Structures are given as C-alpha cells and as structure tokens.
C-alpha cells in the first residue's frame, strides 16, 4: 500500500497515510518529470497582473504564477507579500518575453 501524496510505502492492513491522512492505494501512478520552467516576468503592481495573464493566455502560453493569489487590489498591501513571478516552459520563454517586453518598461517605471 502506498500514499498517493507523499509516496510512502505501508504494510498491508493500513488504510490511511499517517503523515498526509490520505487514503492509501495499491499502486502508485508513475512520476512525471518536472517541467523545465523559466521566469519571464515579475511585478508587484496589481494593475499589471491581469494584463500579463491575459497576454499569455491569449497567445496560448501556459504559465505558472508564483505568489499570484496572495496579491490584493488594495494599494500598498502587496509589497510585504513579494512580487508575482511568471514562469513558462523553456521552449516558450522567448515568445513570452517578446510578448511582455512592452510591459517591462511600465513595470520598471512603476517601481521607481
């Protein structure tokens, strides 16, 4: 028996993971390799966040936003949380950077 979350192996007779409290399974799904992600943009400006996401989605570029859900629309409430970072697959990094190039200037002037 195995935990599907932490992948810990258990003897027969156990039904739940003692660490994760997940129901154990008899076989684990094969692990998929980690994608090769590259950071292409970073901002602390709440008004820039939806623009970045809209541009990336519109171009069909899949992305991961680190700290994306932590930001508030209340001015000044975001700085303690750190900037939102946008990560894409390495093969799409050049396209994403090109797409977001014009925003970088606006992002820099807003930081000053």
pLDDT for the residue numbered 47: 85
pLDDT for the residue numbered 80: 47
On whether both 10 and 50 belong to a single domain, the answer is: no
Residues of the chain short of pLDDT 70, as ranges, are 68-82, 105-112
On whether both 8 and 59 belong to a single domain, the answer is: no
Please count the structural domains in the chain.
Answer: 2
CATH number at residue 70: 3.30.70.790
Instruction: Look up the domain containing 20 and give its range.
Output: 1-31
On whether both 93 and 76 belong to a single domain, the answer is: yes
On whether both 26 and 42 belong to a single domain, the answer is: no
Report which DSSP code applies to 92. Answer: G
pLDDT for the residue numbered 39: 95
């Amino acid at each position: 028996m195995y935990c599907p979350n932490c992948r810990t192996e258990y003897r027969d007779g156990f039904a739940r993971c003692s660490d994760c409290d997940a129901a154990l399974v008899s076989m684990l799904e094969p692990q998929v390799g980690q994608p090769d992600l590259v950071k292409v943009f970073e901002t602390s400006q709440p008004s820039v966040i939806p623009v970045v996401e809209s541009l990336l989605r519109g171009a069909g570029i899949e992305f991961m936003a680190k700290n994306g859900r932590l930001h508030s629309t209340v001015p000044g409430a975001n700085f303690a949380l750190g900037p939102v970072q946008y990560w894409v697959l390495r093969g799409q990094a050049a396209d994403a950077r090109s797409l977001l190039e014009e925003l970088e200037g606006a992002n820099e002037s807003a930081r000053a």
